[in-house]
Amino acid sequence: MKANREIRKLGNRAIASLLTALLLMTATAFAQKSKPAAKPAAAQAEQARAIVLRGGKLLTITHGAIENGVLVMENGKITAVGAADSVQVPKNARIIDVTGMTVYPGLIDSETQLGLTEISLDTTTNDLEETSDAIMPHMHVYDAFHAESELIPVTRMNGVTNAIVAPATRDTLPGQDSFVQLDGKSSQEMLLVRDIAMPLNFTGAQRRNESFEKAKFPQTRMGMAAQLRQVFIDAQDYAQKFPDYDKKAADWEKDKKGDKPSPPKRDLKLEALLPYLEGKRPVVLAAEEPSDLQVALGLAREFRLKVILNHVSHSQILLDQIAATQLPVIVGPIYETPKDNERYDSVYKLPAELAKRGVKIAFASYDSHNVRNLPYQAGYAVAFGLSHEEAMKALTMNPAEIWGVADQLGSLDPGKTANVVVADGDPLELKTDVKRVFIAGREVPLESRQTRLRDQYGK
């Protein structure tokens, strides 16, 4: 409502294009959301008391591993990181001995459907995507994100603390992603960045060709491309209507001759596309096959979209070209089965092959119930040639950079949000047990519906 009023005011005053207005609003909204939400007194006191993790091996991500390290968290932030003898421990701190443990930043999953589904086959629990039309950029996953989902505590148990929540992928433009933190009393607290990016799916799976009788456009890849091109042009035309109107209105004010011009009718669908057409926010471009990837990249160039690549699972022949674009890639899932003409390990090897060419990669589970298996995917990529260091980065710092939150997340560095994981071994090993998870400096109990069932029946 407030947004409506603001836009009308802007139009009447003729001071700026609608685009700028929208961007300002987004910036304001972001600033508001970034402010820590009010917390109950007890939680505040708990957070205020410093927590010290002492004696563990710290995988800092940005400056190597520190054996026998010390990490200090205060007021939800990391305040000190270093070797045992180099860090001053605050008075009255809660000191936790983590000797023999590995300490690392919370993992970031670059595509999930967390909070949008509870039981896959039960449609009443699903808010995965709006399939009434293939072009739905005005769908915001934050409107559906269910903070109390039983899936979220299950996700935390392997150290995933942040995730991109994306709509499912049957629409070419299914809506806009949000970036969440996996702890909080409400969705308000957990949604760190709303509308952080917009997926553009061009994998061939989006074609609406269920049957010739009930066929819906687009049935083909050319249909999908034409539809996308048209809607982008419509959005550009739409954006132009507002400065045009402002000019007309200003002219009319001068002599008041004829009818007073009326402002253009607002269109939320087209409006949603504008920040992306302006290159202010990234489009997550999903393609698997080389031909699809090239078409999608062509569209992106044509409309000057800011791109994060997604999947590229079967585009091995384009790896050098992908590297030349210098675009980051959300890679995987590496469990995608190979095509008949591909060797068994062609997809498993992708992260290593991309990293070797200098591409910034990030992992994603593309899952909801088993987002917890994210580190194992990275581990398997290591088996197929990715360095352990790169694999850890692709779960932490790389996604933090790709999603524009590297000042807050992605490494063990002073000043960052205290999302910290303590495990009894290598984070990427299947046998490793995560012992503690801290999110914004609060130790989150590793309890879930699943541990409760285990404890109830497992005696």
Asked if 324 touches other proteins (CB under 8 A), the answer is no
CB-CB contact of 202 with 286 (8 Å): yes
| C-beta closer to other proteins: residue 128 or 231 | 128
Q: How far is the CB of 379 from other proteins (least distance, A)?
A: 3
If one asks whether residue 205 binds other proteins (CB under 8 A), the answer comes out as: no
CA distance 56 to 82: 11
Residue partners of 378: CB distance under 8 A and separation at least 6: 351, 363, 386, 391, 392, 394, 395, 428
Say how far apart CA 91 and CA 47 lie, in whole Å.
14
Residue 287 phi, psi (nearest 5): -150, 155
Nearest CA to 83 among 70, 72, 64? 70
How many residues contact other proteins, by CB under 8 A?
38
Nearest approach, Cβ of residue 134 and other proteins (Å): 26
Virtual torsion, Cα 157, 159, 163, 169, nearest 10 deg:
-60
Residue closer to other proteins by CB (options 122, 320) is: 122
Supply φ then ψ for residue 372, to 5 degrees.
-60, -20
DSSP 165-212: E---SSSSB--BEEEEES--SSHHHHEEEEEEEEEEE-SSTT---S-S
Q: How far is the CB of 250 from other proteins (least distance, A)?
A: 58
**441, 434 Cβ separation under 8 angstroms:** no
Please, which residue, 294 or 370, has the CB nearer to other proteins? 370
CB of 375 to other proteins, least distance (A): 8
Binding mask 363-402 for other proteins (x = CB under 8 A): -----xxx-xx--x--xx-xxx------------------
Site string for other proteins, 148-167 (x = CB under 8 A): --xx----------------
Segment lying near other proteins (by CB under 8 A), choices 3-11, 160-168, 332-340, 410-418: 332-340
Nearer to other proteins, 274 or 428 (CB): 428
Least distance to other proteins, CB of residue 215, Å: 22
Whole-angstrom Cα distance, residue 110 to residue 362?
A: 7
Token representation of residue 432: 């490793």
- Interactions with other proteins, residue window 431-450 (CB under 8 A): 431-433, 450
Tell me the C-alpha distance between 276 and 272, whole Å. 8
Residue 288 to residue 312: CA distance in whole angstroms: 4
Whichever of 85 and 340 has its CB closer to other proteins, that residue is 340
- At position 173, the amino acid (one-letter code) is L
Does 30 contact other proteins by CB under 8 A? no
| Residue range at the interface with other proteins (CB under 8 A); choices 92-100, 187-195, 350-358, 430-438 | 430-438
Query: What single DSSP character describes residue 373?
Result: G
Stretch binding other proteins (CB under 8 A), from 102-110, 118-126, 173-181, 412-420: 118-126
When the beta carbons of 220 and 450 are compared against other proteins, the nearer one is: 450
Using CB under 8 A as the criterion, which residues of the chain lie in contact with other proteins when the complex forms?
118-122, 150-151, 335, 337-338, 340, 343-345, 368-370, 372-373, 376, 379-380, 382-384, 426, 428-433, 450-451, 453-454, 457-458
